[in-house]
């Protein structure tokens, strides 16, 4: 099963920020402390993010026009395709921005402060552990891929109908389900590369 990662430039192998050496000792400590405090499945510097589908490049151009930092018409980016066969059988993952997560968030009134955020993640973890959106095996991950694959365009279109569109429209994938993977090695190999232009349906093979 395939997943999709995007970057302005081609990358020969996907690596987390920690493995890339992009973070200082202080930043590592802060990220680990944050993950521990809020009971996250892993620290931000140890994750890689993926879409369930190739991005709907034409739709993104029409939704975001020219004001977005990534999804602007004419912007050329590189699609990095991975296969779950290359992932470890035991792998921590989390589906982010799922409908159940959004429904849970929308049901909460107060949305500020560390105590609120701790309680929020406790509740979210319980929901996602039960429905499989948070897990630690490749088999369960592939089940989640089957749940969400083929629906990315729908969720992007739906995001614009939400009341928080104006607050979120500059973000990468707010209210659109996607994946955070936490590989133990911090490295995931790439099977294919494609050049994608926002606003166009064309996808060109890219030799990295």
pLDDT (tens digit, 0 to 9) for every residue of the chain, 208 residues total? 999 999 999 999 999 999 999 899 999 999 999 999 999 999 999 999 999 999 999 999 999 878 899 999 999 999 999 999 999 999 999 999 999 999 999 998 777 888 899 999 999 999 999 999 999 999 999 999 999 999 999 999 999 999 999 999 999 999 999 999 999 999 999 999 999 999 999 899 987 7
User: pTM of the predicted model, to two decimals?
Assistant: 0.94
Strands 48-50 and 178-182: antiparallel
In three-state secondary structure terms, 46 is: helix
pLDDT attached to residue 112: 80
pLDDT attached to residue 29: 97
Whole-number Å distance between alpha carbons of 33 and 153: 35
Provide the β-strand partners of residue 134.
Answer: 94
pLDDT attached to residue 198: 96
Whole-number Å distance between alpha carbons of 154 and 137: 27
Provide the β-strand partners of residue 192.
Answer: 81
Provide the β-strand partners of residue 51.
Answer: 4
- Residue among 12, 17, 22, 18 nearest 78 (CA): 12
């Amino acid at each position: 099963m395939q997943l999709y990662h995007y970057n302005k430039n081609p990358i020969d192998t996907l690596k987390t920020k920690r493995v890339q050496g992009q973070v200082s000792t202080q930043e590592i400590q802060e990220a680990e402390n944050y993950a521990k405090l809020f009971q996250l499945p892993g620290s931000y510097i140890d994750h890689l993010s993926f879409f369930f589908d190739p991005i709907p490049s034409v739709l993104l151009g029409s939704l975001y026009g020219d004001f977005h930092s990534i999804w602007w018409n004419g912007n050329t980016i590189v699609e990095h395709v991975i296969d779950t066969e290359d992932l470890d059988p035991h792998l921590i993952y989390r589906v982010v921005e799922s409908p159940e997560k959004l429904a849970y968030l929308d049901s909460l009134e107060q949305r500020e402060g560390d105590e609120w955020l701790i309680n929020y993640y406790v509740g979210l973890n319980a929901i996602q552990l039960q429905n499989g959106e948070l897990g630690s095996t490749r088999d369960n991950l592939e089940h989640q891929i089957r749940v969400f694959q083929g629906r990315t365009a729908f969720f992007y279109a739906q995001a614009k109908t939400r009341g928080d569109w104006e607050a979120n429209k500059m973000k990468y994938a707010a209210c659109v389900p996607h994946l955070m993977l936490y590989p133990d090695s911090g490295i995931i190999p790439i099977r294919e590369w494609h050049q994608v232009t926002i606003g166009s349906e064309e996808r060109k093979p890219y030799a990295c």
